[in-house]
Amino acid sequence: MLQLILGGARSGKSRLAEKLASDSQLAVTYIATSQPLDGEMNERVAHHRARRPAEWALIEEPLELARVLRENARAERCLLVDCLTLWLTNLLMLDDAERLAAEREALLDCLASLPGDIIFVSNETGMGVVPLGELTRRYVDAAGWLHQALAERCQRVVLTVAGLPLTLKGPAL
């Protein structure tokens, strides 16, 4: 099953995704897309690491998400990708529109052929005020388009607010 878990900052989306991965009874591989480049991000990463079971495998990949998914998806495995908007940010910061488009299309194209369970976590950023800066507007637009395309392909889509899951598509939690 492909699942997309959306929510704002500190909404409980990662915690929910981790619970779903644990409940799958499959071997779990956590795919981290962040690049902890400052103290605050290092603290966030440490918080996530402390919460995860020690037996979960970890892959850190900031850019080539489709490749990592193809290489690691198995019928007996659950892949948890946290998070898509950090992955998108990493690609936007390269300032290479062709690379962004190629990585996005590679991700969307590979989904139908991937075995096992895959859970994507992403920040829902399009529910607020339109940002002032050009890069931030590109980011919000790109995230919105990515979420729409993924939601079409996923069997379950969940929005988390205040730690509460609201199933938008697929089987209720």
Bridge partners of 144, per DSSP, are none
48 assigned to active site:
yes
Classify burial at 75, counting beta carbons within 10 Å of its beta carbon; exposed 0-12, middle 13-18, buried 19 or more.
Answer: exposed
Q: What is the C-alpha to C-alpha distance for residues 112 and 61, in angstroms, rounded to an integer?
A: 21
Q: Is the distance from CB of 142 to CB of 101 less than 8 angstroms?
A: no
**Across the beta sheet with 117-123, what order do the strands follow?**
57-60, 27-32, 77-82, 117-123, 2-7, 156-161, 164-169
Q: In this structure, are strands 156-161 and 164-169 parallel, antiparallel, or unpaired?
A: antiparallel
**Catalytic site residue from 44, 48, 77, 153:** 48
Residues recognised as catalytic: 48
